[in-house]
Amino acid sequence: MKQRTRIRYTDAQKALMWDRWAKGESLHQIARLFDRHHTSVRGVLAESGGIRPPARRRSVRALSLAEREDVSRALVVGQSIRSIAAKLGRSPSTISREIRRNGGAERYRASHADQAAWDRAHRPKTCKLALHPTLAERVADKLQQRWSPQQIAGWLMRTFPDDATSQVSHETIYRTLFIQSRGALKKELLEHLRCTRAMRRSRHHTQKNSDHGRISDTVSIRERPADADDRAVPGHWEGDLLCGSGNSQIATLVERSTRYVMLVKVDRKDTQTVVDALIRTARLLPDELYKSLTWDRGKELADHRRFTLATDIQVYFCDPQSPWQRGSNENTNGLLRQYFPKGIDLSNFSQAKLDEVARQLNERPRKTLNFETPIERYRQAVALTG
Protein backbone atom coordinates (compact mmCIF):
# COMPACT_ATOMS: atom_id res chain seq x y z
CA MET A 1 0.00 0.00 0.00
CA LYS A 2 1.44 3.36 -1.05
CA GLN A 3 1.86 5.77 1.82
CA ARG A 4 0.76 9.34 1.18
CA THR A 5 3.07 12.19 2.06
CA ARG A 6 2.51 14.00 5.31
CA ILE A 7 0.35 17.10 4.82
CA ARG A 8 1.17 20.42 6.40
CA TYR A 9 -2.05 22.39 6.67
CA THR A 10 -1.82 26.08 5.88
CA ASP A 11 -3.42 28.74 8.05
CA ALA A 12 -6.18 29.13 5.45
CA GLN A 13 -6.89 25.38 5.51
CA LYS A 14 -7.00 25.37 9.30
CA ALA A 15 -9.39 28.31 9.24
CA LEU A 16 -11.65 26.35 6.89
CA MET A 17 -11.55 23.38 9.29
CA TRP A 18 -12.64 25.58 12.19
CA ASP A 19 -15.41 27.16 10.14
CA ARG A 20 -16.82 23.74 9.21
CA TRP A 21 -16.37 22.46 12.77
CA ALA A 22 -18.37 25.44 14.11
CA LYS A 23 -21.17 24.60 11.67
CA GLY A 24 -21.42 21.10 13.17
CA GLU A 25 -19.77 19.04 10.43
CA SER A 26 -18.10 15.80 11.46
CA LEU A 27 -14.39 15.03 11.27
CA HIS A 28 -15.05 12.71 8.33
CA GLN A 29 -16.89 15.41 6.39
CA ILE A 30 -14.13 17.95 6.99
CA ALA A 31 -11.39 15.44 6.10
CA ARG A 32 -13.01 14.76 2.71
CA LEU A 33 -12.35 18.40 1.75
CA PHE A 34 -8.62 17.64 1.87
CA ASP A 35 -8.79 14.00 0.75
CA ARG A 36 -7.42 12.92 4.10
CA HIS A 37 -8.32 10.56 6.93
CA HIS A 38 -10.38 12.07 9.75
CA THR A 39 -7.53 11.53 12.25
CA SER A 40 -5.50 14.07 10.30
CA VAL A 41 -8.12 16.74 10.98
CA ARG A 42 -8.66 15.59 14.54
CA GLY A 43 -5.00 16.22 15.31
CA VAL A 44 -5.41 19.87 14.38
CA LEU A 45 -8.67 20.41 16.28
CA ALA A 46 -7.79 18.34 19.35
CA GLU A 47 -4.65 20.39 20.01
CA SER A 48 -6.88 23.09 21.48
CA GLY A 49 -9.64 20.76 22.70
CA GLY A 50 -12.02 21.55 19.85
CA ILE A 51 -12.00 25.23 20.89
CA ARG A 52 -10.93 27.60 18.13
CA PRO A 53 -7.75 29.36 19.24
CA PRO A 54 -7.74 33.16 18.98
CA ALA A 55 -5.95 34.62 15.99
CA ARG A 56 -2.37 35.61 16.81
CA ARG A 57 -1.37 39.23 16.25
CA ARG A 58 1.95 40.96 16.39
CA SER A 59 2.53 43.49 19.12
CA VAL A 60 2.47 47.07 17.86
CA ARG A 61 5.72 47.61 19.75
CA ALA A 62 7.58 44.82 17.92
CA LEU A 63 9.80 45.53 14.92
CA SER A 64 8.05 44.93 11.60
CA LEU A 65 9.52 42.96 8.71
CA ALA A 66 10.09 46.22 6.81
CA GLU A 67 12.03 47.64 9.76
CA ARG A 68 14.14 44.50 9.97
CA GLU A 69 14.94 44.77 6.26
CA ASP A 70 16.10 48.35 6.87
CA VAL A 71 18.32 47.07 9.69
CA SER A 72 19.76 44.37 7.42
CA ARG A 73 20.57 46.81 4.60
CA ALA A 74 22.08 49.33 7.02
CA LEU A 75 24.37 46.68 8.50
CA VAL A 76 25.60 45.73 5.04
CA VAL A 77 26.76 49.30 4.35
CA GLY A 78 28.34 49.56 7.80
CA GLN A 79 26.01 52.02 9.56
CA SER A 80 26.21 52.26 13.35
CA ILE A 81 23.51 51.04 15.69
CA ARG A 82 22.71 54.60 16.80
CA SER A 83 22.24 55.83 13.25
CA ILE A 84 20.00 52.86 12.43
CA ALA A 85 17.94 53.52 15.56
CA ALA A 86 17.60 57.21 14.76
CA LYS A 87 16.43 56.46 11.21
CA LEU A 88 13.76 54.02 12.46
CA GLY A 89 12.75 56.10 15.47
CA ARG A 90 13.69 53.29 17.82
CA SER A 91 15.86 53.07 20.92
CA PRO A 92 19.49 52.03 20.24
CA SER A 93 19.10 49.26 22.84
CA THR A 94 16.16 47.83 20.85
CA ILE A 95 18.27 47.63 17.68
CA SER A 96 21.24 46.26 19.62
CA ARG A 97 19.18 43.42 21.15
CA GLU A 98 17.58 42.67 17.78
CA ILE A 99 20.97 42.19 16.11
CA ARG A 100 22.53 40.29 19.02
CA ARG A 101 19.73 37.72 19.39
CA ASN A 102 19.73 36.99 15.65
CA GLY A 103 23.34 36.08 14.92
CA GLY A 104 25.15 39.42 15.11
CA ALA A 105 25.85 42.03 12.45
CA GLU A 106 27.55 39.64 10.04
CA ARG A 107 24.85 36.92 10.12
CA TYR A 108 21.72 39.04 10.53
CA ARG A 109 18.96 38.28 7.99
CA ALA A 110 15.63 40.11 8.11
CA SER A 111 13.34 37.18 7.15
CA HIS A 112 15.00 34.78 9.60
CA ALA A 113 14.89 37.35 12.39
CA ASP A 114 11.21 38.08 11.74
CA GLN A 115 10.24 34.41 11.85
CA ALA A 116 12.32 33.84 15.00
CA ALA A 117 10.56 36.76 16.70
CA TRP A 118 7.15 35.32 15.77
CA ASP A 119 8.13 31.91 17.17
CA ARG A 120 9.49 33.37 20.41
CA ALA A 121 6.31 35.39 20.95
CA HIS A 122 4.22 32.22 21.22
CA ARG A 123 4.14 31.98 25.01
CA PRO A 124 0.67 30.90 26.22
CA LYS A 125 -0.45 32.59 29.41
CA THR A 126 -0.57 30.32 32.46
CA CYS A 127 -4.21 29.57 33.23
CA LYS A 128 -5.82 30.69 36.49
CA LEU A 129 -6.36 27.16 37.83
CA ALA A 130 -2.66 26.40 37.45
CA LEU A 131 -1.78 29.56 39.37
CA HIS A 132 -4.18 28.81 42.25
CA PRO A 133 -3.97 25.15 43.39
CA THR A 134 -6.61 25.59 46.12
CA LEU A 135 -9.10 26.84 43.54
CA ALA A 136 -8.23 23.92 41.26
CA GLU A 137 -8.89 21.49 44.13
CA ARG A 138 -12.31 23.02 44.76
CA VAL A 139 -13.19 22.75 41.07
CA ALA A 140 -11.99 19.14 40.87
CA ASP A 141 -14.01 18.22 43.97
CA LYS A 142 -17.22 19.66 42.52
CA LEU A 143 -16.59 18.01 39.16
CA GLN A 144 -16.33 14.66 40.96
CA GLN A 145 -19.75 15.43 42.46
CA ARG A 146 -20.96 15.81 38.84
CA TRP A 147 -21.54 19.54 39.05
CA SER A 148 -21.29 21.26 35.67
CA PRO A 149 -18.58 23.91 35.13
CA GLN A 150 -21.27 26.59 34.96
CA GLN A 151 -22.72 25.45 38.30
CA ILE A 152 -19.25 25.45 39.84
CA ALA A 153 -18.49 28.95 38.55
CA GLY A 154 -21.79 30.29 39.87
CA TRP A 155 -21.33 28.61 43.27
CA LEU A 156 -17.82 30.06 43.61
CA MET A 157 -19.15 33.53 42.82
CA ARG A 158 -21.83 33.22 45.50
CA THR A 159 -19.51 31.65 48.07
CA PHE A 160 -16.52 33.97 47.56
CA PRO A 161 -18.06 37.20 46.25
CA ASP A 162 -15.14 39.41 47.33
CA ASP A 163 -12.22 37.12 46.45
CA ALA A 164 -11.34 37.11 42.76
CA THR A 165 -8.65 34.46 43.28
CA SER A 166 -11.34 32.02 44.44
CA GLN A 167 -13.53 32.54 41.37
CA VAL A 168 -13.16 31.13 37.88
CA SER A 169 -15.35 31.20 34.78
CA HIS A 170 -16.97 28.05 33.44
CA GLU A 171 -15.18 28.66 30.13
CA THR A 172 -11.80 28.45 31.89
CA ILE A 173 -12.82 25.15 33.49
CA TYR A 174 -13.85 23.70 30.13
CA ARG A 175 -10.67 24.90 28.43
CA THR A 176 -8.48 23.50 31.19
CA LEU A 177 -10.18 20.11 30.87
CA PHE A 178 -10.07 20.03 27.08
CA ILE A 179 -6.54 21.46 26.73
CA GLN A 180 -4.47 19.14 28.89
CA SER A 181 -1.27 21.08 28.25
CA ARG A 182 -2.53 23.59 30.82
CA GLY A 183 -1.82 20.93 33.45
CA ALA A 184 -4.25 22.06 36.17
CA LEU A 185 -7.11 19.50 35.96
CA LYS A 186 -6.66 15.80 35.28
CA LYS A 187 -8.13 14.35 32.10
CA GLU A 188 -10.00 11.75 34.16
CA LEU A 189 -12.35 14.49 35.38
CA LEU A 190 -13.88 14.61 31.88
CA GLU A 191 -15.85 11.47 32.69
CA HIS A 192 -17.82 13.44 35.31
CA LEU A 193 -19.11 15.95 32.77
CA ARG A 194 -22.59 15.61 31.34
CA CYS A 195 -21.02 15.01 27.92
CA THR A 196 -17.84 12.96 28.33
CA ARG A 197 -16.29 13.83 24.97
CA ALA A 198 -12.67 14.98 25.00
CA MET A 199 -13.25 17.83 22.53
CA ARG A 200 -15.83 20.56 22.40
CA ARG A 201 -18.47 20.03 19.73
CA SER A 202 -20.53 22.65 17.98
CA ARG A 203 -24.05 23.13 19.30
CA HIS A 204 -25.19 22.49 15.71
CA HIS A 205 -23.60 19.03 15.58
CA THR A 206 -26.68 17.03 16.56
CA GLN A 207 -30.29 17.88 17.17
CA LYS A 208 -32.79 15.46 18.61
CA ASN A 209 -35.65 14.84 16.23
CA SER A 210 -38.10 12.10 17.15
CA ASP A 211 -41.79 11.40 17.05
CA HIS A 212 -43.09 8.82 19.52
CA GLY A 213 -46.48 8.27 17.95
CA ARG A 214 -49.95 9.73 17.78
CA ILE A 215 -52.34 10.09 20.70
CA SER A 216 -56.03 10.91 20.53
CA ASP A 217 -57.81 13.74 22.34
CA THR A 218 -54.64 15.61 23.11
CA VAL A 219 -54.60 19.17 24.45
CA SER A 220 -51.90 21.23 22.75
CA ILE A 221 -49.13 22.95 24.67
CA ARG A 222 -50.38 26.15 23.04
CA GLU A 223 -53.43 25.99 25.33
CA ARG A 224 -51.33 25.81 28.47
CA PRO A 225 -52.03 28.60 31.02
CA ALA A 226 -49.94 31.75 30.76
CA ASP A 227 -48.53 31.32 34.28
CA ALA A 228 -47.08 27.98 33.15
CA ASP A 229 -45.35 29.55 30.16
CA ASP A 230 -43.68 32.37 32.07
CA ARG A 231 -42.69 30.10 35.01
CA ALA A 232 -44.04 32.70 37.42
CA VAL A 233 -46.07 30.25 39.49
CA PRO A 234 -44.84 26.83 40.68
CA GLY A 235 -46.88 23.70 40.02
CA HIS A 236 -46.44 23.15 36.28
CA TRP A 237 -44.40 20.06 35.44
CA GLU A 238 -42.72 18.55 32.38
CA GLY A 239 -42.26 14.82 31.96
CA ASP A 240 -40.80 12.10 29.75
CA LEU A 241 -39.38 8.59 29.81
CA LEU A 242 -35.63 8.06 30.01
CA CYS A 243 -34.93 4.78 28.23
CA GLY A 244 -32.23 2.17 28.81
CA SER A 245 -31.35 -1.27 27.49
CA GLY A 246 -33.65 -4.28 27.68
CA ASN A 247 -36.74 -2.11 27.21
CA SER A 248 -36.13 -0.50 30.62
CA GLN A 249 -37.07 3.07 31.49
CA ILE A 250 -37.72 5.56 34.27
CA ALA A 251 -40.14 8.49 34.28
CA THR A 252 -38.57 11.92 34.78
CA LEU A 253 -40.54 14.91 36.09
CA VAL A 254 -39.30 18.50 36.37
CA GLU A 255 -41.14 21.46 37.88
CA ARG A 256 -40.79 24.42 35.51
CA SER A 257 -40.45 27.22 38.05
CA THR A 258 -38.08 25.65 40.60
CA ARG A 259 -36.45 22.99 38.33
CA TYR A 260 -37.18 20.48 41.08
CA VAL A 261 -36.70 16.89 39.81
CA MET A 262 -38.56 13.69 40.63
CA LEU A 263 -37.70 10.26 39.24
CA VAL A 264 -40.25 7.46 39.09
CA LYS A 265 -39.49 3.78 38.64
CA VAL A 266 -41.71 2.13 36.01
CA ASP A 267 -41.55 -1.59 35.30
CA ARG A 268 -42.86 -1.34 31.73
CA LYS A 269 -43.55 1.43 29.24
CA ASP A 270 -47.14 0.50 28.42
CA THR A 271 -49.59 3.29 29.10
CA GLN A 272 -51.34 1.57 32.04
CA THR A 273 -48.09 1.01 33.95
CA VAL A 274 -46.79 4.53 33.30
CA VAL A 275 -50.05 6.27 34.11
CA ASP A 276 -50.44 4.26 37.34
CA ALA A 277 -46.94 5.30 38.42
CA LEU A 278 -47.60 8.95 37.61
CA ILE A 279 -50.88 8.91 39.55
CA ARG A 280 -49.10 7.54 42.66
CA THR A 281 -46.42 10.23 42.38
CA ALA A 282 -48.94 13.04 41.89
CA ARG A 283 -50.68 12.10 45.14
CA LEU A 284 -47.45 12.70 47.06
CA LEU A 285 -47.54 16.43 46.28
CA PRO A 286 -49.84 19.24 47.47
CA ASP A 287 -52.48 20.19 44.91
CA GLU A 288 -51.04 23.72 44.72
CA LEU A 289 -47.71 22.32 43.52
CA TYR A 290 -49.05 20.05 40.77
CA LYS A 291 -51.40 21.87 38.43
CA SER A 292 -50.38 20.65 34.97
CA LEU A 293 -48.13 18.18 33.20
CA THR A 294 -46.56 18.68 29.76
CA TRP A 295 -45.46 15.54 27.91
CA ASP A 296 -43.97 14.60 24.57
CA ARG A 297 -45.99 12.62 22.01
CA GLY A 298 -45.00 9.27 23.51
CA LYS A 299 -47.64 6.54 23.43
CA GLU A 300 -46.90 5.74 27.06
CA LEU A 301 -49.31 8.55 27.92
CA ALA A 302 -52.04 7.50 25.52
CA ASP A 303 -54.33 7.03 28.55
CA HIS A 304 -53.80 10.61 29.68
CA ARG A 305 -57.51 11.12 30.28
CA ARG A 306 -57.43 8.53 33.10
CA PHE A 307 -54.53 10.39 34.69
CA THR A 308 -56.48 13.67 34.56
CA LEU A 309 -59.65 12.10 36.01
CA ALA A 310 -57.70 10.54 38.89
CA THR A 311 -55.62 13.61 39.78
CA ASP A 312 -57.46 16.62 38.35
CA ILE A 313 -54.18 17.53 36.60
CA GLN A 314 -54.46 18.61 32.99
CA VAL A 315 -51.97 17.05 30.54
CA TYR A 316 -50.63 19.13 27.63
CA PHE A 317 -48.71 17.69 24.68
CA CYS A 318 -45.88 19.14 22.63
CA ASP A 319 -46.27 19.70 18.92
CA PRO A 320 -45.12 16.76 16.74
CA GLN A 321 -41.35 16.47 16.51
CA SER A 322 -40.90 19.31 19.01
CA PRO A 323 -39.47 17.82 22.22
CA TRP A 324 -37.58 21.09 22.74
CA GLN A 325 -40.89 22.60 23.91
CA ARG A 326 -40.21 20.74 27.17
CA GLY A 327 -36.85 22.41 27.54
CA SER A 328 -36.43 21.90 31.28
CA ASN A 329 -37.15 18.19 31.01
CA GLU A 330 -34.88 17.72 27.99
CA ASN A 331 -32.06 19.43 29.86
CA THR A 332 -32.64 17.27 32.93
CA ASN A 333 -32.63 14.08 30.88
CA GLY A 334 -29.24 15.12 29.57
CA LEU A 335 -27.98 15.61 33.13
CA LEU A 336 -29.33 12.21 34.09
CA ARG A 337 -27.15 10.55 31.48
CA GLN A 338 -24.24 11.24 33.83
CA TYR A 339 -25.83 8.77 36.23
CA PHE A 340 -27.56 6.51 33.70
CA PRO A 341 -25.44 6.29 30.52
CA LYS A 342 -27.05 5.14 27.29
CA GLY A 343 -27.23 1.36 27.05
CA ILE A 344 -27.49 0.73 30.80
CA ASP A 345 -30.28 -1.45 32.18
CA LEU A 346 -32.46 0.94 34.20
CA SER A 347 -34.52 -1.86 35.73
CA ASN A 348 -31.63 -2.58 38.12
CA PHE A 349 -32.14 0.72 39.97
CA SER A 350 -34.47 0.81 42.94
CA GLN A 351 -36.79 3.71 43.74
CA ALA A 352 -34.47 4.54 46.65
CA LYS A 353 -31.53 4.88 44.26
CA LEU A 354 -33.62 7.06 41.93
CA ASP A 355 -34.54 9.27 44.89
CA GLU A 356 -30.84 9.63 45.75
CA VAL A 357 -29.97 10.71 42.19
CA ALA A 358 -32.86 13.18 42.21
CA ARG A 359 -31.59 14.59 45.52
CA GLN A 360 -28.14 15.17 44.04
CA LEU A 361 -29.63 17.00 41.05
CA ASN A 362 -31.84 19.09 43.30
CA GLU A 363 -28.82 20.15 45.35
CA ARG A 364 -26.89 21.42 42.36
CA PRO A 365 -26.86 25.22 41.91
CA ARG A 366 -28.46 26.37 38.65
CA LYS A 367 -27.52 29.41 36.61
CA THR A 368 -31.17 30.00 35.68
CA LEU A 369 -31.96 30.22 39.41
CA ASN A 370 -29.14 32.70 40.07
CA PHE A 371 -27.14 29.72 41.30
CA GLU A 372 -29.59 28.81 44.00
CA THR A 373 -30.54 25.13 44.11
CA PRO A 374 -33.87 23.61 43.04
CA ILE A 375 -34.42 22.28 46.56
CA GLU A 376 -34.08 25.81 47.97
CA ARG A 377 -36.65 27.16 45.51
CA TYR A 378 -38.97 24.21 46.05
CA ARG A 379 -38.93 24.64 49.83
CA GLN A 380 -39.79 28.30 49.38
CA ALA A 381 -42.75 27.27 47.23
CA VAL A 382 -43.90 24.73 49.84
CA ALA A 383 -43.66 27.35 52.57
CA LEU A 384 -45.83 29.73 50.57
CA THR A 385 -48.50 27.09 49.97
CA GLY A 386 -48.47 26.08 53.62
Q: Which is more confidently placed, 189 or 48?
A: 189
User: What is the per-residue pLDDT for 189?
Assistant: 83
Cβ atoms of 364 and 147 closer than 8 Å:
yes
Q: Which residue has the higher pLDDT, 260 or 175?
A: 260
Residue 213: which pLDDT band, with cuts at 50, 70 and 90? very low
- Cα(249)–Cα(155) distance, integer angstroms: 32
Residue 212 pLDDT:
40
In this predicted structure, the answer to whether residue 279 has a pLDDT above a threshold of 70 is: yes
Average pLDDT, the chain: 87
Q: What is the pLDDT of residue 207?
A: 42
The CA dihedral of 69, 71, 74, 78, to the nearest 10 degrees, is -140
The SS3 call for residue 166 is helix
Question: By three-state DSSP, how is residue 207 classified?
Answer: coil
Q: Which amino acid is residue 264, in one-letter code?
A: V
**In whole angstroms, what is the distance from residue 237 CA to residue 255 CA?**
4
> For the purposes of burial, counting CB atoms within 10 Å of the CB of 113, is it exposed (0-12), middle (13-18) or buried (19 or more)?
buried
Q: Give which of 317, 315, 307, 262 is closest to 291, Cα–Cα.
A: 315
pLDDT in tens, 134-167: 998 999 999 989 898 999 999 999 999 999 999 9
Percent of the chain with pLDDT strictly greater than 90: 51
Quick one: DSSP state of residue 192? G
221-385: CATH class: alpha beta
Residue 100 has pLDDT above 90, yes or no: yes
Tens digit of each residue's pLDDT (9 = 90 or more) over 80-95? 999 999 999 999 999 9
The pLDDT value recorded for residue 322 is 85
- Tens digit of each residue's pLDDT (9 = 90 or more) over 223-236: 998 888 888 889 99
Could you tell me which of 232, 374, 237, 228 has the C-alpha nearest to residue 295? 237
How many Å separate Cα 157 from the centre of its chain?
19
Residues 6+ apart with CB under 8 A from 365: 147, 151, 154, 155, 158, 371, 372, 373
Choose among 253, 273, 272, 249: nearest CA to 262.
253
pLDDT at 155: 94
Enclosing H/E stretch for 241: strand 236-243
H-assigned helices in the chain: 11-22, 27-33, 38-46, 65-76, 81-88, 92-100, 110-120, 128-131, 133-144, 149-159, 170-178, 226-229, 271-282, 304-311, 327-336, 351-362, 374-385
For the cut 70, the answer to whether the pLDDT of residue 204 exceeds it is no
Q: Of the segments 55-69, 124-138, 207-221, 362-376, which one has the largest average pLDDT value?
A: 362-376
Are 325 and 319 in contact by the 8 Å Cβ rule? The answer is yes
- What per-residue confidence (pLDDT) applies to 131? 87
pLDDT top residue among 217 and 309: 309
> Which three-class secondary structure state does DSSP give residue 294?
strand
**Stretch 328-339: mean pLDDT, rounded?**
92
> What pLDDT is attached to residue 187?
74
Q: Looking at residues 126-141, what average pLDDT do you find?
A: 88
pLDDT tier at 3, thresholds 50, 70, 90? low
Evaluate if residue 287 carries a pLDDT over 90.
no
The whole-number pLDDT of residue 182 equals 67
Q: Where are the domains of the chain?
A: 11-46, 65-120, 128-192, 221-385
Where is average pLDDT lowest: 55-64, 187-196, 345-354?
Answer: 187-196
Q: What is the rounded average pLDDT of the residues 62-74?
A: 92
Closest alpha carbon to 346 in 288, 265, 281, 290: 265
Tell me what the mean pLDDT of segment 42-46 comes to. 84
pTM of the model: 0.56
Phi, psi of 255 (to 5 degrees): -85, 130
> What's the average model confidence in pLDDT over 238-242?
94
* Average pLDDT for 131-136: 90
